[in-house]
């Protein structure tokens, strides 16, 4: 990672919530989710918050690097219906080596829907894939490929 990232850097992400990002779509095989209202799912909100944090990091990564979420502590305090636009603001709160801290706030145009903090760690995709594939072999399951857009991938 470049040494250019500083606390206070921000990114904003606007996302129009489609019907397939509602609670019944979170785990379609789970009956408990299927009977819940079709509102923006907490799991998808968390992913949107992570995405905004990745946008903060993007210009500071070296080729072949990416980031992984390692901690999340957020509240989901209001429901959002499909068709509304959720805006997430992510702010870097600190850089400690490869670990980056963020605050995140989500708003749906009518009210704040979530807020909290998130941490990501910057990794070399090549080393990460090797490590995960070693685990896959031990678990006797299929290996993963190299992330799209990184060296060694024809994406």
Give the per-residue pLDDT at 40.
98
Identify the active-site residue in 9, 50, 115, 119: 50
Is-catalytic flag, 103?
no
Residue 48, both tokens: 């949107």
pTM of the entire predicted model: 0.91
Identify the active-site residue in 25, 38, 42, 126: 42
**Taking the CB of residue 67, how many other CB atoms lie within 10 A of it?**
22
* pLDDT beyond 60 at 153: no
Is-catalytic flag, 42?
yes
Is-catalytic flag, 118?
no
Identify the active-site residue in 9, 22, 76, 119: 76
pLDDT digits (tens, 9 = 90+) for 82-123: 999 999 999 999 999 999 999 999 999 999 999 999 999 999
User: For the chain, which domains are there?
Assistant: 10-124 (3.10.129.10)
> What is the average pLDDT across 136-153?
76
Instruction: Please choose, from the candidates 88, 86, 83, 89, the residue with its C-alpha nearest in 3D space to the C-alpha of residue 8.
Output: 89
Q: What is the CA radius of gyration of the chain?
A: 17
DSSP E strand stretches across the chain: 10-16, 65-76, 85-96, 99-107, 112-124
Give the per-residue pLDDT at 8.
98
**Taking the CB of residue 150, how many other CB atoms lie within 10 A of it?**
16
Q: Are 52 and 101 in contact (CB under 8 A)?
A: no
> What is the average pLDDT across 14-40?
96
């Amino acid at each position: 990672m470049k040494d250019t990232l500083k606390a206070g850097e921000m990114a904003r992400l606007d996302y129009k919530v489609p019907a397939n990002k509602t609670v019944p779509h979170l785990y379609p095989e789970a009956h408990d989710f299927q009977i819940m209202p079709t509102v923006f799912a907490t799991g998808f909100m968390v992913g949107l918050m992570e995405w905004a944090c990745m946008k903060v990091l993007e210009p500071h990564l070296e080729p072949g690097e990416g980031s992984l979420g390692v901690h999340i502590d957020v509240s989901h305090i209001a429901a959002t219906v499909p068709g509304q636009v959720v805006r997430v603001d992510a702010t870097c709160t600190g850089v400690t080596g490869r670990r980056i801290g963020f605050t995140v706030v989500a708003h749906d145009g009518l009210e704040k829907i979530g807020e909290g903090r998130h941490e990501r760690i910057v990794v070399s995709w090549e080393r990460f894939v090797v490590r995960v594939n070693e685990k896959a072999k031990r678990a006797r399951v299929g290996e993963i490929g190299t992330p799209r857009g990184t060296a060694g991938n024809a994406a």
